[in-house]
């Protein structure tokens, strides 16, 4: 090996070492703040629950068994834990409906903003992000004030004589959905807008010119071209909706549980930390499966639009 | 149907904006475009030619007036119902579809059977010589190829009229020349009426059956390229197309459509009058630079006019001489074809005489 080549190789080695050194702080934070707690959750899920919460260091699978199964209190036989299964199904279902509703509301909203003149778009985007400035809890309580029996809607409707007595809207799935759609809508609008902003609107004219009706233009041209935005928005809404805690606990009122509430219950009143940990990991796995599904879809469609 | 015009524009105006910001992009314009014609709308940018095209396509609706397609008023019809297709300046090919899918899109939207669409797409690919690229994405082909796909896509549904919005402006010079010939061939082969928008006078003159020259929302003159070039009736048309010399003068006498005009500094010139126009008093006479020539130095006395040579510009095929006539203010340009191995005959500052070909001068309407 020539001297020059040696020098170059030493330089390259030093370069690699420097890069590792420089990224050390970031790696440490990721390890401590993300991987560390996750590891604790995984370990706890295999331990025995302590009598007043916490865990005892006796390895067992009972936490995991209890995710979907329950032991009969009399004869100790295992059967499907209907309550847990239904909460899982409800959570997935409500999150899916939330995603679809935010898409239905967010799509025209994003389209509206993307078709405004350049100088007014900033203002519309700014208006979309205003709710982010207020604490989630306060926003949720605001909805509660609007839809409760003595709230805004019922009071107005009764004054107008349209309702004879207050209509129960709070503590229903409808209330949870309203709250979640409201909370997660910006997460749908922003990626959709980012996609639509890049859309060449002359393509729509080309579509109309080639005998496509407005609906066909939407289906055949707009939707395929903004698909990356639809996928990104759906992921951003579906994942946090699946783990939503504040909205269902306030607007669903304890009886309409979602996964987040079930997990909280195990760490709180339930005093079953291993089960809570196992439920958390199960939730994470569902999210990962959903993500994988989306990524696969996105590869087929998203890459084309330049 | 042969006696009907393909497209007839009747007193169409298109006004954008309101109140003091109102702007008439097309201003009370009427024109008839014949069947199977290669018709060009020519004008500088902002003259309303693209707006007029968009009104025919249906992307804009006229503020007033009628647009007839084969005798039927389509002014209020949405674009997806008009049997008219457009080749866009930016091509506007669908990036999420292949070349073949792009070409078949219109037929698909019309609900034609699959077999028919396939046959037609194959036919179109052959027509624009793109058979090998049918499966490519539109982002994977060159600008000239995209141009062909845009043409094939617009021709596939067999429109009554094809609208072309400056389709060649994004191509380089050589490709543009090829596509001009290609477009003429396609128009001849398909027999479809082409309405072509351009700001390029050379493109308009070489390709069109008839040309309409537009300015400020109005059509100033419609005619064959030869008529537009040789017999402009309007000052703007004369100025916009080719180079022109303008000479002011007084009509002395009129006979058989020819007026004798006293232009003062350039002497008496016999100039043809536009049909049905018999002015007296002040008129403007136009004279193309190639219809005038420099006199030999020994024959100055017999020349039409004299002046001082301000500038000589060598162009390869010809030489342009910029002269100021003997009154010291009137500019006059003339152009002479270069002969092989000819030395420069005149230099800047020389006094020169200019003679004019017979039947070359014309009187303008305004």
The rounded mean pLDDT for chain B is 90
CB pair distance less than 8 Å for A206 and B106: no
Q: Extract the tokens encoding B83.
A: 């049997």
User: Which chain A residues are within 8 Å of B88, Cβ to Cβ?
Assistant: 202, 205-206
Residue linked to tokens 């959903």 = A290
Mean pLDDT within B58-67: 94
- Is the pLDDT at A190 greater than 50? The verdict is yes
Angle at Cα A283 formed by Cα A280 and Cα A288, nearest 5°? 125
State the best of B54, B80, B90 to mutate against chain A, taking most chain A CBs within 10 Å.
B80
Q: Which CATH architecture has domain A83-304?
A: Orthogonal Bundle (1.10)
Q: What is the pLDDT of residues B323-337, one digit of tens each?
A: 999 888 899 999 988
Chain B nearest CA to A228, separation (Å): 12
CB pair distance less than 8 Å for B153 and A202: no
Cβ atoms of B287 and B244 within 8 Å: the answer is yes
Task: Compute the distance between CA of residue B134 and CA of residue A184 in angstroms, rounded to an integer.
Answer: 43
Q: What CATH number has the domain bearing residue B311? A: 2.40.50.140
H/E stretch holding A36 reads: helix A36-44
Residues B149 and B45 in one domain: yes
Residue B236 lies in a domain: no
Strand pairing report for B268-272 and B282-287: unpaired
Residues B284 and B317 in one domain: yes
Across the interface, of A210, A214, A224, the residue whose CB is closest to B96 is A224
Residues B202 and B260 in one domain: no
Residues B164 and B17 in one domain: yes
Cβ atoms of B196 and B33 within 8 Å: the answer is no
| B173-190 and B143-155 helices, crossing angle to 10° | 20
Question: Which structural domain, as residue segments, surrounds residue B286?
Answer: 243-363
Residue B238 lies in a domain: no
State the best of A206, A224, A225, A300 to mutate against chain B, taking most chain B CBs within 10 Å.
A206
Number of domains in chain B: 2
Q: What is the pLDDT of residues B23-59, one digit of tens each?
A: 999 999 999 999 999 999 999 998 999 999 999 999 9
Task: Compute the distance between CA of residue B90 and CA of residue B170 in angstroms, rounded to an integer.
Answer: 8
Residue B2 lies in a domain: no
H/E stretch holding B250 reads: strand B245-255
Q: Residue B19 phi/psi, 5° resolution? A: 55, -130
H/E stretch holding A61 reads: none
CB pair distance less than 8 Å for A210 and B157: yes
> What is the percent of chain A with per-residue pLDDT over 70, rounded to a whole number?
97
Measured torsion, CA atoms of residues B224, B230, B231, B234, in degrees rounded to the nearest 10? 100
* Other CB atoms within 10 Å distance of the CB of residue A178: 20
* Other CB atoms within 10 Å distance of the CB of residue A174: 13
Counting one residue from chain A and one from chain B, the pairs whose CB atoms sit within 8 A come to 69
Residue B1 lies in a domain: no
Domain stops at, among B196, B230, B264: B230
Residues B222 and B293 in one domain: no
In A, what residues contact B, Cβ < 8 A?
A: 200, 202-203, 205-214, 216, 220-221, 224-225, 301, 304-306
User: Which chain A residues are within 8 Å of B58, Cβ to Cβ?
Assistant: 208-209
Give residue A303's pLDDT: 44
User: Which chain A residues are within 8 Å of B153, Cβ to Cβ?
Assistant: 210
Residues B153 and B277 in one domain: no
Reported as a pLDDT band with limits 50, 70 and 90, residue A305 is: very low
Residues B293 and B324 in one domain: yes
CB pair distance less than 8 Å for B95 and A304: yes
Handedness of CA B202, B205, B208, B211 (dihedral sign): positive
Residue B237 lies in a domain: no
Give residue A38's pLDDT: 92
Residues B221 and B248 in one domain: no
CB pair distance less than 8 Å for B57 and A202: no
Q: Extract the tokens encoding B296.
A: 């030999």
User: Which chain A residues are within 8 Å of B94, Cβ to Cβ?
Assistant: 203, 206-207, 221
Give residue B2's pLDDT: 52
pTM of the model: 0.80
Q: What is the pLDDT of residues A261-303, one digit of tens each?
A: 889 889 988 888 999 999 999 999 988 888 888 777 766 554 4
Give residue B82's pLDDT: 95
State the best of A195, A198, A211, A212 to mutate against chain B, taking most chain B CBs within 10 Å.
A211
Mean pLDDT within B90-113: 95
Mean pLDDT within B121-147: 91
Residues B35 and B132 in one domain: yes
CB pair distance less than 8 Å for A210 and B153: yes
Handedness of CA A22, A26, A32, A37 (dihedral sign): negative
Range with the poorest average pLDDT among B10-14, B199-203, B225-229, B264-268: B264-268
Domain stops at, among B205, B230, B255: B230
Residue B174 lies in a domain: yes
The rounded mean pLDDT for chain A is 88
Strand pairing report for B84-87 and B161-165: parallel
Domain stops at, among B230, B257, B276: B230
Give residue A71's pLDDT: 77
Give residue B256's pLDDT: 84
For residue B314, list its beta bridge partners.
B319
Range with the poorest average pLDDT among A90-99, A183-192, B248-257: B248-257
Give residue A298's pLDDT: 65
| Displacement of CA B13 from its chain's centroid (Å) | 21
Q: What is the pLDDT of residues A120-156, one digit of tens each?
A: 999 999 998 888 888 889 999 999 999 988 888 888 9
> What is the percent of chain A with per-residue pLDDT over 90, rounded to a whole number?
45
- Which residue did the predictor score with more confidence, A215 or B275? A215
Handedness of CA A24, A30, A35, A41 (dihedral sign): positive
Residues B212 and B276 in one domain: no
Mean pLDDT within A78-93: 87
- Is the pLDDT at B339 greater than 90? The verdict is no
Task: Compute the distance between CA of residue B152 and CA of residue B11 in angstroms, rounded to an integer.
Answer: 32
Closest of B40, B52, B2, B49 to residue B191, by C-alpha: B2
Across the interface, of A209, A225, A305, the residue whose CB is closest to B57 is A209
Mean pLDDT within A212-240: 93
Q: Residue A154 phi/psi, 5° resolution? A: -60, -40
Q: What is the pLDDT of residues A147-176, one digit of tens each?
A: 988 888 888 988 888 888 888 888 888 899
Q: For chain B, how big is the Rg over CA atoms in Å?
A: 25
Closest of A170, A192, A174 to residue A251, by C-alpha: A170
Residues B252 and B303 in one domain: yes
Chain B nearest CA to A188, separation (Å): 23
ipTM: 0.83
Cβ atoms of A41 and A250 within 8 Å: the answer is no
Residue B45 lies in a domain: yes
Q: For chain A, how big is the Rg over CA atoms in Å?
A: 26
Residues B199 and B251 in one domain: no
Nearest CA in chain A to B161: A209
């Amino acid at each position: 090996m020539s001297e020059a080549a040696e020098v170059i190789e030493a330089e390259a080695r030093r370069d690699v070492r420097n890069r590792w050194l420089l990224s050390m702080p970031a790696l440490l934070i990721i390890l401590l703040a993300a991987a560390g707690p996750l590891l604790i959750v995984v370990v706890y899920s295999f331990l025995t629950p302590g009598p007043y919460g916490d865990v005892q260091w006796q390895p067992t699978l009972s936490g995991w068994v209890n995710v979907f199964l329950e032991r009969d209190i009399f004869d100790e036989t295992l059967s499907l834990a209907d309550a847990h299964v239904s909460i899982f199904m409800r959570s997935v279902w409500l999150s899916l409906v939330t995603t679809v509703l935010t898409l239905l509301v967010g799509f025209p909203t994003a389209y509206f903003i993307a078709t405004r003149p350049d100088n007014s778009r900033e203002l519309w985007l700014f208006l979309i992000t205003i709710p982010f400035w207020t604490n989630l809890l306060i926003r949720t309580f605001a909805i509660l004030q609007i839809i409760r029996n003595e709230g805004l809607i019922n009071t107005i409707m009764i004054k107008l004589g349209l309702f004879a007595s207050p209509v129960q809207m709070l503590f229903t799935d409808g209330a949870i959905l309203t709250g979640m759609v409201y909370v997660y809508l910006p997460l749908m609008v922003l990626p959709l807008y980012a996609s639509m902003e890049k859309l060449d609107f002359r393509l729509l004219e080309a579509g109309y010119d080639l005998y496509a009706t407005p609906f066909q233009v939407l289906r055949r041209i707009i939707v395929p071209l903004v698909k990356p935005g639809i996928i990104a928005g759906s992921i951003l809404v579906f994942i946090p909706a699946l783990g939503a805690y504040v909205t269902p606990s306030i607007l669903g009122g304890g009886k309409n549980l979602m996964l987040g509430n079930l997990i909280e219950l195990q760490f709180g009143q339930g005093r079953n930390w291993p089960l809570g940990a196992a439920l958390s990991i199960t939730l994470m796995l569902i999210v990962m499966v959903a993500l994988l599904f989306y990524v696969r879809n996105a590869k087929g469609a998203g890459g084309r639009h330049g | 149907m042969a006696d009907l015009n393909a497209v007839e524009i009747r007193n169409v105006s298109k006004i954008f904006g309101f109140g003091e910001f109102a702007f008439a992009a097309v201003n009370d314009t009427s024109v008839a475009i014949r069947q199977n014609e290669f018709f060009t709308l020519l004008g500088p940018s902002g003259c309303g030619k693209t707006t007029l095209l968009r009104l025919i396509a249906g992307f804009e609706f006229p503020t007033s007036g009628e647009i007839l397609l084969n005798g039927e008023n389509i002014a209020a019809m949405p674009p997806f119902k008009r049997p008219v297709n457009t080749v866009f300046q930016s091509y506007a090919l669908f990036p999420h579809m292949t070349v073949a899918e792009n070409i078949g899109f219109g037929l698909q939207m019309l609900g034609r059977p699959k077999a028919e669409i396939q046959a037609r797409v194959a036919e179109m690919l052959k027509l624009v010589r793109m058979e090998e690229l049918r499966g490519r994405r539109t982002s994977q082909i060159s600008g000239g190829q995209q141009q062909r796909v845009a043409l094939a896509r617009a021709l596939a549904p067999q429109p009554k009229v094809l609208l072309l919005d400056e389709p060649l402006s994004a191509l380089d010079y050589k490709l543009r020349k090829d596509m001009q010939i290609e477009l003429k061939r396609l128009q001849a082969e398909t027999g479809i009426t082409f309405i072509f928008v351009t700001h390029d006078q050379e493109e308009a003159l070489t390709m069109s059956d008839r040309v309409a020259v537009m300015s400020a929302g109005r059509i100033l003159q419609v005619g064959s390229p030869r008529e537009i070039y040789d017999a402009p009736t309007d000052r703007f048309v004369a100025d916009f197309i080719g180079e022109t010399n303008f000479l002011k003068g007084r009509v002395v006498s009129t006979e058989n459509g020819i007026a004798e005009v006293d232009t003062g500094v350039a002497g008496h010139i016999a100039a043809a009058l536009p049909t049905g126009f018999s002015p007296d008093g002040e008129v403007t006479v136009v004279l193309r630079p190639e219809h005038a020539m420099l006199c030999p130095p020994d024959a100055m006395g017999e020349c039409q006019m004299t002046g001082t040579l301000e500038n000589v510009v060598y162009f390869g095929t010809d030489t342009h001489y910029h002269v100021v006539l003997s009154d010291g203010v009137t500019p006059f340009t003339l152009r002479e074809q270069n002969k092989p191995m000819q030395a420069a005959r005149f230099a800047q500052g020389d006094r020169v005489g200019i003679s004019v070909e017979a039947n070359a001068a014309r009187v303008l309407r305004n």
